[in-house]
Structure 1
Amino acid sequence: MNVIKVLNAQPAEDGAGVKIRRVPGFDGRYLDPFLMLDELKSDHSDDYMAGFPAHPHRGIETFTYLIKGGFEHRDHLGNRKAVRAGDVQWMSTGKGVIHSEMPLADSEGLHGFQIWLNMDAKDKMNAPQYQDSAQSGLPQISSQGVHLKALAGAWTLNAEQVQSPLSNLACNGAIADINIESKAQLEMPAMGCERVLAYIHTGSITAAGQRYQAGQLLVLDGDSAIIATTDQPSGLLLLRGEPLHQPIAHMGPFVMNTQAQLQDAIRDYQNGQFGQLSQ
């Protein structure tokens, strides 16, 4: 496994003061087509119960995955869903979405992720889309102490392939949660795409003689096989996609290609063109 770059998640706050760890990529250097990975992990409700009240987005896709706890999603399109442990939720915000994500009152701790993907310039003003896995579930593969859950896209482990019901992410984006038992070895062939990322969320892994810890995002060579071992139960998110190599203009919840487009987004939101959150 050829690790090109190691990025460390940094403490941050978002929403109404939710404590997170973030790996930003708005400069387009290492994450493109992904823009940001946020990890929310706490057993203390004060760290997350204020949640993410109603806010807008334009020009991105948001992908939420929960390992522990739950959120209620609401948006101006009329979607109102409880997203619980083991579920994923995806929104292609396109020309504009207003939504909220609030922790469920029965959550005893929270561990989850929100990942932003960029959208091609030609698609940024498309109509919004929403999908989750609450009804369909997510397929899994287990082999020799390695357990892979296909969160988005198609994945192969030891010649067995699974396809997530979420298959329309921008830039051929795909995401898997991989859990490795102690003393087991993860082996996967080269992804064959330009962008491959691994975010360690539990334990640690060793690859090519180097040890990597939870909270580190590894930028991998897409033409190199993935081989890693661990001496403790460990978990990582594996992400792949095709970079856009397009200009990124970012301001808060809006990601466009030019400053003029950002000003248009702000004006449209202030003029009420994003709609209103459903009751």
Structure 2
Amino acid sequence: MKILNVTRSHSTQDGAGVKIQRIAGFDGKSLDPFLMIDELKSSNSQDYIGGFPAHPHRGIETFTYIRKGGFEHQDQMGNKKAIRAGQVQWMSTGRGVIHSEMPLADAQHGMHGFQIWLNMPAKDKMNTPKYQDSSDRVLPSIINQSGAQLTALAGSWTESQQTISSGLDELAGAGAISDIWLQAHSAMYLDLSHYGKVLLYIHTGALKDSRHQSGYLLNIDPQAPIHIESGNQEVGLLLLAGQPINERIAHMGPFVMNTQEELKQAVRDYHAGKFGAI
């Protein structure tokens, strides 16, 4: 596995004081087609109880994955869904959405989840918003002979001559996301050479070399064979792949467009009530 560079997440807050670990790439290059990876991982409800009250978005896609606990999503399109452990939710915001994500009252023993932002190509940024989740099914997994497990969260994945599909195949930049869990002394080999960008975010434990541990993002050369291996402990990680969009980015808070004028128009439209309301 050829590692091009390594980024460590940093602590920050968002929403109503929710504590998260974040890796941002609004330069349009480092993570493209992805923009941001937020991880919420805490056993203290005070770190996330405030949730994410109603707020707008334009020009991006949001992808939420819950490993422990849960959130209730609500938006101006009429969707109101509880997203629980093992489930995902995708929203293509297009020309504009208003949504909220609030912790479920019955979620026990803390919270562990992710929200990932993807950039939308300029030609799609003013499309009609879309919403989809996996609350009606179990996401498919592959377990190889070494005991390593890959769960398809978005897109299709092939390992050990097995191919599985998540059922979420419309992410911008042909985005694909999986959660990989390695038992101690297990490994997974993947060929992702058909992608232009491959990122590996470690959320639990450390890889066999021990230099790369939870909170680290590895930018991987997709043209080299990808070999992920654990040592004496279990390891959990997200694997993100996609095709770079290679477009100029103008970013301000919840809006990601291509020019400053488009950002100003997004703010005007939001204040004029054109995004709707929950």
- TM-score under structure 2 length normalisation: 0.97
Q: What is the alpha-carbon distance in structure 1 between the residues aligned to residue 127 and residue 191 of structure 2?
A: 35
Does residue 261 of structure 1 match 2:262?
yes
What are the superposed Cα offsets for residues 20-75 of structure 1, whole Å, 9 maximum, x if unpaired?
00000001221011000000000000000100000000000000000000000000
Q: Could you say what secondary structure the match of 2:211 adopts?
A: strand
In the alignment, structure 1 segments of 5+ residues that lack a partner are none
Which of 167, 170, 173 is the matching residue for 1:171?
A: 173
Q: Could you say what secondary structure the match of 1:266 adopts?
A: helix
Q: Which residues in structure 2 correspond to 1:120-159 (within 5 Å)?
A: 120-143=121-144, 144-159=146-161
* Higher mean C-alpha displacement, 32-41 vs 228-237: 228-237
Letter in 1 for 2:10: Q
Q: What is the alpha-carbon distance in structure 2 between the residues aligned to residue 73 and residue 29 of structure 1?
A: 30
The aligned counterpart of 1:270 is 271
RMSD of equivalent CA atoms: 0.9
Identity %: 57
Q: What is the alpha-carbon distance in structure 2 between the residues aligned to residue 120 and residue 252 of structure 1?
A: 18
- Between the two proteins, the alignment pairs up a number of residues equal to 275
The aligned counterpart of 2:101 is 101
How far apart are 1:190 and its partner, in Å? 3.6
Q: What is the alpha-carbon distance in structure 2 between the residues aligned to residue 10 and residue 92 of structure 1?
A: 26
The aligned counterpart of 2:214 is 214
The aligned counterpart of 2:12 is 12
8 Å CA contact 1:136–1:165 kept in 2: the answer is no
Does residue 43 of structure 1 match 2:40?
no
What are the superposed Cα offsets for residues 219-260 of structure 1, whole Å, 9 maximum, x if unpaired?
000101111221211110000001111000000000000000
The aligned counterpart of 2:162 is 160
Letter in 2 for 1:99: H
- TM-score under structure 1 length normalisation: 0.97
Does residue 186 of structure 1 match 2:188?
yes
The aligned counterpart of 1:195 is 197
Q: What is the alpha-carbon distance in structure 2 between the residues aligned to residue 48 and residue 185 of structure 1?
A: 34
Q: Could you say what secondary structure the match of 1:211 adopts?
A: coil
Q: What is the alpha-carbon distance in structure 1 between the residues aligned to residue 244 and residue 137 of structure 2?
A: 29
